[in-house]
Structure 1
Amino acid sequence: MPKILLIDDHRVILDGLKLLLETFEGFEIVATSTDGRRANALVRKWEPDVVVTDAAMPEFSGLDVVHDLGKHYPQLPILVLTTFDDASLVHSLMKAGAAGYILKDVSPEQLAEAITQVAQGGVVLDPRVARFAYTNPAAAQQSQELAILTRAERTVAELVAQGANNAEIASTLHLAEGTVKNHVSSLLRKLQARDRTVLALHLARALNPQDPVPGTDAAPRY
């Protein structure tokens, strides 16, 4: 039963979403807010399984929410629900670690399914904005590969791409080294990389398609 935190600067929309989602069996709305700046405190108090936030909000946007929560709760999935299909916004949100981005005109069933998917560790991207996630065809194909990663795996993947070893990743993300090892093993399996070096090079290209891939002298242990 996913516990959900809802954030939208329009009270009418926020109340409507709450009433709508509560009609689905197993959904529990633990808190709502019209101010994205309260997200951190509300997550700390209510420990939701999923955060659903609007993208365009005054003073503290959905992108700000994703950045802020990502620092403190990197494994908490955040689903962005909005009326906007702006290319740069979609790209920024997905790069920041949002678990999903869908438009507000989806059906109630589609919204419920999206929340369920991100709560289970999946990534959801509305087909109408999927083409905006990356800026070139090669990167778009790479983004589809990364879409199978959970939010936690993607966070680890970014550090693997930078050449960090398991101990460094564990220290940076405040995780047990065994947990990091499990994530890396999952990355190797999902991306079908034969070893850590190939994985790091693949991730570097996929996460930063415009940047040159740095050389790797040795494969860190995983």
Structure 2
Amino acid sequence: MTVPTRREPVRLLLVDDHPMFLEGLRLVLSAEADLEVVGEAVTGDQAVTAALDLQPDVVVMDLHLPGLRGTDATRQIVATSPHIGVLVLTMFDDDDSVFAAMRAGARGYLLKGAAHAQVVRGILAVADGEVIFGPSVARHMQRFFEAPPVPSVFPGLTPREHEVLDLVARGRSNTDIARSLGVSGKTVRNHVSNLFAKLQVADRAQAIVRARSVGLGVDEQG
């Protein structure tokens, strides 16, 4: 009779800037036989460095971090070590945070307050290459995919430029747009400049007028 081989513990890097939460998370996860906490970080920059040095199987990542944001840290970790899975564990339950994290390369997204068993299950799933969402986050994804595609009324725009224009029409600043899309401020500025040229407008106000005249951005601005 063949005895099943026990899996090696999943090596974890925990990232959170709240010491008490980080300590509690370490204690409960360290008690799991299938998990091994190999490092901790309290900033995004520390997380990137620790991930590169320790090469954990999974990074449990908060999004709101001092310095480098969790989405940016996730992007850098995945870019340098694509075999590392990132599981977001955060308080933020909005569309912008969810989709920015997924664009950055996170494989899972759970909310703080999730049951201990759910967090463990999420870590193991991400370690096995699966994608995992908490129930409320799954609803965000469901609404996104159920929404009918919006045909571009400006066919000369790329899909990303159309997305940026819609956010401009909602009154979002370049900084807010960069955070929502998980890109740099410079990238957003380039997109906005391209929009002005393609729409043949002189400034942001004229772009907003053009966009709202065809229905973009009106759902938040009324």
Q: TM-score range by the shorter chain?
A: 0.5 to 0.7
User: 1: CA distance between counterparts of 2:27 and 2:144?
Assistant: 40
Amino acid at match of 2:130: G
Q: How far did residue 21 of structure 1 move?
A: 0.3
Q: Superposed, which structure 2 residues align to 1:112-123 within 5 Å?
A: 112-123=120-131
State the SS of the aligned residue for 2:140: coil
Q: How far did residue 26 of structure 1 move?
A: 2.3
Paired position in structure 2 for 1:74: 82
Larger radius of gyration: 2
Q: Is the 8 A contact 1:40 1:69 kept in 2?
A: yes
Q: How far did residue 46 of structure 1 move?
A: 1.4
User: 2: CA distance between counterparts of 1:112 and 1:135?
Assistant: 26
User: 2: CA distance between counterparts of 1:139 and 1:130?
Assistant: 14
Paired position in structure 2 for 1:147: none
Paired position in structure 1 for 2:111: 103
Paired position in structure 2 for 1:92: 100
Over residues 53-75 of structure 1, what are the superposed CA-to-partner deviations in whole Å (9 max), with x where a residue is unaligned? 11112222211111111221122
Q: How far did residue 132 of structure 1 move?
A: 2.3
Structure 1 runs of 4+ with >6 Å offset: none
User: 1: CA distance between counterparts of 2:66 and 2:51?
Assistant: 20
Paired position in structure 1 for 2:132: 124
State the SS of the aligned residue for 1:51: strand
Over residues 74-97 of structure 1, what are the superposed CA-to-partner deviations in whole Å (9 max), with x where a residue is unaligned? 221100001110111101111221
Q: Superposed, which structure 2 residues align to 1:1-222 within 5 Å?
A: 1-133=9-141, 136-138=144-146
Aligned residues: 140
Q: Is the 8 A contact 2:52 2:81 kept in 1?
A: no
Alpha-carbon RMSD across the aligned residues, in angstroms, is: 1.8
Q: How far did residue 134 of structure 1 move?
A: 7.2
Q: How far did residue 39 of structure 1 move?
A: 1.8
User: 2: CA distance between counterparts of 1:74 and 1:26?
Assistant: 22
User: 1: CA distance between counterparts of 2:103 and 2:142?
Assistant: 9
Amino acid at match of 2:69: S
Q: Is the 8 A contact 1:70 1:97 kept in 2?
A: yes
Instruction: Mark the CA change 1:88 to 1:30 in structure 2 (over 3 Å): closer, same or farther.
Output: same
Q: How far did residue 11 of structure 1 move?
A: 1.0
User: 2: CA distance between counterparts of 1:139 and 1:127?
Assistant: 19
State the SS of the aligned residue for 1:28: strand
Q: How far did residue 17 of structure 1 move?
A: 0.4
Q: Is the 8 A contact 1:91 1:134 kept in 2?
A: no
